[in-house]
Structure 1
Amino acid sequence: MKHEQGGLIGVRTGGRLFVDSLIRNGVDFMTCVPGESFLPILDALYDVTGTGTGPRLVTTRHEAAAANMAEAAGKLTGRVAACLVTRGPGAMHASIAVHTAYQDGTPMLLVVGQVARATRGREAFQEMDYSAVFGTTAKSVVEISDVDRIPEHVARAVYLATSGRPGPVVLAVPEDVLSDMSDAEPIPAPVAEPVPPAAGAADRLVAALAAAERPLLIVGGPKWSQETGEHVRAFAERNTIPVAAAFRCQDAVDNRSGAYVGYLGLGGSPELRSAALEADLIVALGPRLDDPTTDGFALTERPVPGRRVITVSDDPDEACRALIPDGVLVCSLEPLARLLSERSAEPPAGRDKWLRALRASHERFSEPPAPGGGVDLARIVRHVRSVLPDDAVVTNGAGNYTVWLQRFFEFRRHGTQIAPHNGAMGYGFPAALAVSAVRPEAPVVAFAGDGCFLMSGSELATAVQEQLDLVVIVVNNRMLGTIRMHQERHYPGRVIATDLRNPDFAQYARSFGAPAWVVEETGQFADAFAAARAHPGPAVVEIRTDPAQITPDRRLEAPGAERDGRAAGWGAQ
């Protein structure tokens, strides 16, 4: 290969070598906010993007959005996406997505331009020690000090990001390394082969499940697939085993299955949480038994007489991360699920009653409450489900508005729920941008609270510029509802710092060139949503909700809770 600046076969800048190494390792989606610390990378991307075969590069308005987009793309595809940021402030803006990727098990590469080697250690302009900054939130943090070793470090980063429990890797590259010349060639990362279960392991797992009177499969997590979900569903249905989704893994199996009994985690069914405590065998097939899934570790914090817990992961360390289980099965999920789909065992008498009771409880929980006045979010979510195809992707950030989505939306295919397990606000809208860019054939809908949306609302400019086709549903209750709920519960009548004075979201969207509709009654939503979906490009539907309706079943009842929309500032809009 002849490079314009090198003039010799195989000689290229560190920036071009870095880009070629990313491409060699299948990194075909990148995001950035441009910075002078990685100009040689941007110059190299000039030659390869927009060619129809090169990677796609999306420039955002804020590094947090750029990093959230890369994380969401990795979560959706299972492949590494890269976020390019400049040193210091740029890296810190991106840090929240690194934390999300670490807690969610998402393959991601954060590339940080670093100060020149000659000025390291002197607190140069925007200098930081990224090993110290990201050491507890990334699988690996490396500063590349030799241009010839760029291929090695990129290949290792891609391997680490995707092997075992996936996660983020940070590569810091001094700007002078990117300007140096090299005749090194890109190196492909090794591909970790699936780990088959040990001989007889599937039979032993089936035997344990067959002997249990009240078993519960908890499913989801990294490296799940549509095929894995179909195998697990078939096995569970045939053997009358209830299947519960881990927190924000509701798309792991088809929710229409008679074996699906709901999701564990924030906003989930109290009846399912109680049933999980009564199970005599819990098998965590893929997910980490983390804080939200286990209701603050209540499910796992101490041994319970008569109950066993078995964890399944292809990462031996991960299998014992949240608790010391009674049994560990180290293998990849898909080959195990395939073996399980071929197995049957006679269940104990009466276990079908256990499954039927949990399924009936789930159906009751997911049925919208009796309609009231104003906006009924439960029926709006049900309408969204009824008009979207099964492969539509729904994204969200964090806040009480997500409870309606999680509870009333029926997920039917894997890869259709993109949400942060670590509760990061500002995530849902950038995640929708990434989905639209990576999977343009699928309808994309982002749900965002008013506080959540304004953390990344300026990315409407990115959506319009990139012509990304998606609908954003902004649930506007004029407050930070989750914290307000906790305030009213623990400090009634002493509300502070949670009221929000919002813009007119419809006018805000139109100022970027995106059409928008306002919904103040449930009956207005269907037409507004249909019009938004028909528009090619980004569109916004603002839903103005009752600020007192904190969850589908609970209103603010404490002294000082505002129930009048006018008191919350509608007159100003």
Structure 2
Amino acid sequence: MTHATHPLRNGGQILIQQLRRHGARRVFLVPGESYLPCIDALNEHRDAIDPIVCRQESGAAYMAEAYGKLTNEPGICFVTRGPGATNASIGVHTAFQDSTPMILFIGQVGNDFIEREAFQEIDYRRMFGPMTKWVAQIDDPARIPEYIARAYAVATSGRPGPVVLALPEDTLWGEASVADVEPRPRLHSHPSRAQLDELGQRLEQAERPFLLLGGSGWTEQAQHQVAAFAERFALPVGVAWRRLECFDQRHEAFVGHVGNGMHDALRERLEACDLLIAVGTRLGEATSEGYSWIESPTPRQALVHVYPDPEELGHVYRPSQAINADVVGFAGALEALSPATPPPWQAETQAARRAYLATLEPQEAPGPLSLDRVSQTVDRVLDGKGCISVGAGNYALYAHRYVRFSGLGSSLAPTVGSMGYGLPAAISSKLEHPKRPAVCYAGDGCFQMNLQELGVALQYRLGIVVLVFNNGMWGTIRAHQEHDFPGREIALTFTNPAFATLIQAYGGQGEIVEDDATFEDAFRRALSFAERERLPALIELRYDADGIAPGQRLSAIREAALSHPASPTPGAQQP
């Protein structure tokens, strides 16, 4: 409905004003003529909204997704139609599987050209439907406030996720006199008193409980409340696959990162536990190691599944107790639970903690440069400060194993396992927390998928540090290849540029490290340069490619496969 008392504005002005009303502080974009009125309207909000001009739409979408992880508010991304939208789709898919609030705005052909396969035209409802919470097209400028308000509500409610809104040119150039819609307070779902009583009874009857945390939407208060709950009940705490920021790993209750690459003692503990309390996590394929240590549809363990989306409860696993609550609401309610007597499993929790600490000792590695010791040094030098981002590849396993992440904002890792994520995520972290270190772990292949975003670090003077793990091949796939087709390596190697020289073109500092003795000094120099000059620093790590993962060698994988031939594993995925 239009009202003559409201100023006449074009669609771009209405949209950007509505974003400001909802608290948007930063938008990530690759400019396109299809949404020029939105770009122009940013002029009126220079004091409130910071436009970050990216170099490619996948980088922009990744930055927006990382912003959503860091703030629990929708990351805002603008891209042009057609090629821009397809490039950005990888960030949307990441936001969907990672349950991250995000809104992607896409320019669209005018309604007078629609359904003619006009220049760069795509039906975005069909394209994005399976990987978003909501896809829509705004055909009337007077309804823009309504759509934006709904987009924020959908992206942040229940299980958070991405929303895609298409913006036809006639909508953005058209005018309307319409009122803005005020944002609504964030709603949280809570467990009932009866559900808390049942959970308390299950804890009283348990002998080997385990608390597993994951998902999105965590706040510092919620993490403190869950930590206090774990302390009262002496519970061992693990974090789900690539949800390393969900719990302070220096806490005495923390016993490990659950999922691909976890240590044997932790897997055995999970298989043997008689009460699994899973909070905020879907218990997906990577966390469950292919639905192995916890079986679908009926787990061996008594499963208390706490999740904000009721459709997820019972979707893969039949829980013994299902609690429809988000992590904030559930964490706050836990203050009502305390054990009547000291929990009998305290010694088991302490043993699990010792087993985790033992995994922090570096594994044997080939060659003069040990990636185990590299990550051990990173952990010691950072001492719980800053953020480490990763993309996909076996190199990420070193950070996951040896770095003790300190809670919210300390880790940015795509659970979807998408490559090229680490650099844009580090940039987003540095924009949000300019005084905190931002360290990007990147494989040599992963880094080259989005290295153009170094231009953003240069333009906005962002002192990030990039560790490039150079083994000259697609290492994760090579490990799968040696397992399934031993001794038949082909099509997995590549020739790299001089990374340490390349960074200089972006105003940065670069070094090459080839042995353990020189890494710490190089890392400290990189951190110092990045902080002092507010420009990127890069360390190229050249290491023996036989060291493919902590404690594992490609040659050993090949030998084992040749000794015990197995059927090929279909569908090998990026870790």
Mapped pair 1:217 → 2:214: no
Give TM-score, length-normalised by structure 1.
Answer: 0.93
How far apart are the structure 2 equivalents of 1:69 and 1:320? Answer: 33
Q: Aligned letter for 2:554?
A: L
Structure 1 residue 296: Cα displacement? 0.9
Residue among 463, 473, 483 paired with 2:467? 473
How far apart are the structure 1 equivalents of 2:277 and 2:176? Answer: 51
For 2:350, what is the secondary structure of its paired residue? helix
1:65-115 per-position Cα deviation (integer Å, ceiling 9, x unaligned): 000000000111101121100000000000011000000000000000000
Mapped pair 1:417 → 2:397: no
Q: Aligned letter for 2:359?
A: F
How far apart are the structure 2 equivalents of 1:560 and 1:161? Answer: 45
Question: How many positions carry a matched residue from both structures?
Answer: 551
1:21-71 per-position Cα deviation (integer Å, ceiling 9, x unaligned): 11111111111111110011111113323xxx3211111111000000000
Mapped pair 1:297 → 2:291: yes
How far apart are the structure 1 equivalents of 2:403 and 2:43? Answer: 42
Which residue in 1 is equivalent to 2:241? 247
How far apart are the structure 2 equivalents of 1:340 and 1:17? Answer: 43
* Contact 1:21–1:154 (8 Å) recurs in 2: yes
Which residue in 1 is equivalent to 2:7? 10
1:104-159 per-position Cα deviation (integer Å, ceiling 9, x unaligned): 00000000000010010000010000000000000000011111001100110011
Which residue in 1 is equivalent to 2:305? 311
Q: Aligned letter for 1:109?
A: I
How far apart are the structure 1 equivalents of 2:132 and 2:55? Answer: 24
Residue among 139, 142, 150 paired with 1:148? 142
Which residue in 2 is equivalent to 1:94? 88
How far apart are the structure 2 equivalents of 1:191 and 1:142? Answer: 23
Structure 1 residue 559: Cα displacement? 9.3
How far apart are the structure 1 equivalents of 2:151 and 2:544? Answer: 47
Residue among 69, 74, 83 paired with 2:77? 83
Structure 1 stretches lacking a partner, 5+ long = 1-6, 562-573
Q: Aligned letter for 1:13?
A: N
How far apart are the structure 2 equivalents of 1:523 and 1:335? Answer: 48
Q: How does 1:272-351 map to 2 (within 5 A)?
A: 272-298=266-292, 299-304=294-299, 307-341=301-335, 343-346=337-340, 350-351=344-345
Structure 1 residue 372: Cα displacement? 5.4
Which residue in 1 is equivalent to 2:17? 20
For 2:151, what is the secondary structure of its paired residue? helix
Structure 1 residue 192: Cα displacement? 3.5
Which residue in 2 is equivalent to 1:567? none
How far apart are the structure 1 equivalents of 2:272 and 2:342? Answer: 16
Residue among 181, 184, 190 paired with 1:190? 184
Structure 1 residue 533: Cα displacement? 1.0
Structure 1 residue 546: Cα displacement? 1.0
Which residue in 2 is equivalent to 1:568? none
How far apart are the structure 1 equivalents of 2:51 and 2:93? Answer: 22
Residue among 211, 228, 232 paired with 1:234? 228
Mapped pair 1:404 → 2:398: yes
Specify whether residues 238 and 379 from structure 1 end up closer, same or farther in structure 2 by C-alpha distance, changes over 3 A only.
same
Structure 1 residue 300: Cα displacement? 3.0
For 2:259, what is the secondary structure of its paired residue? coil
Q: Aligned letter for 1:189?
A: P
Q: Aligned letter for 1:555?
A: R
Which residue in 2 is equivalent to 1:179? 173
For 2:429, what is the secondary structure of its paired residue? helix
How far apart are the structure 2 equivalents of 1:420 and 1:380? Answer: 22
Mapped pair 1:110 → 2:104: yes
Structure 1 residue 206: Cα displacement? 2.3
1:426-478 per-position Cα deviation (integer Å, ceiling 9, x unaligned): 00000011111122122111110100000001111111011112111111111
Structure 1 window deviating more from structure 2 (272-281 vs 428-437): it is 272-281
Q: Aligned letter for 2:537?
A: A
Which residue in 1 is equivalent to 2:202? 208
Which residue in 1 is equivalent to 2:127? 133
Which residue in 1 is equivalent to 2:548? 550
Which residue in 1 is equivalent to 2:526? 532
How far apart are the structure 2 equivalents of 1:371 and 1:290? Answer: 31
Structure 1 window deviating more from structure 2 (103-112 vs 205-214): it is 205-214
Mapped pair 1:501 → 2:495: yes
Specify whether residues 383 and 8 from structure 1 end up closer, same or farther in structure 2 by C-alpha distance, changes over 3 A only.
same
How far apart are the structure 2 equivalents of 1:284 and 1:130? Answer: 35
Which residue in 1 is equivalent to 2:573? none
For 2:112, what is the secondary structure of its paired residue? helix
Structure 1 window deviating more from structure 2 (33-42 vs 209-218): it is 209-218
How far apart are the structure 2 equivalents of 1:285 and 1:541? Answer: 37
Identity over aligned pairs, percent: 40
Q: Aligned letter for 1:422?
A: V
* Contact 2:360–2:376 (8 Å) recurs in 1: no
Structure 1 residue 540: Cα displacement? 0.8
* Contact 1:28–1:81 (8 Å) recurs in 2: no
How far apart are the structure 2 equivalents of 1:507 and 1:332? Answer: 47
1:156-196 per-position Cα deviation (integer Å, ceiling 9, x unaligned): 00110001110000000101110011111221232232223
Q: Aligned letter for 1:419?
A: A
* Contact 1:391–1:413 (8 Å) recurs in 2: no
Structure 1 window deviating more from structure 2 (204-213 vs 112-121): it is 204-213
* Contact 2:389–2:439 (8 Å) recurs in 1: yes
Residue among 98, 104, 123 paired with 2:117? 123
What is the root-mean-square deviation of aligned Cα atoms in Å?
A: 1.9
For 1:472, what is the secondary structure of its paired residue? strand
* Contact 2:125–2:136 (8 Å) recurs in 1: yes
Q: Aligned letter for 2:484?
A: H
Superposed structure 1 runs of 4+ greater than 6 Å apart: none
* Contact 1:64–1:95 (8 Å) recurs in 2: yes
How far apart are the structure 1 equivalents of 2:270 and 2:338? Answer: 23
For 2:266, what is the secondary structure of its paired residue? helix
Q: Aligned letter for 1:28?
A: R
Mapped pair 1:515 → 2:513: no
Q: Aligned letter for 1:233?
A: A
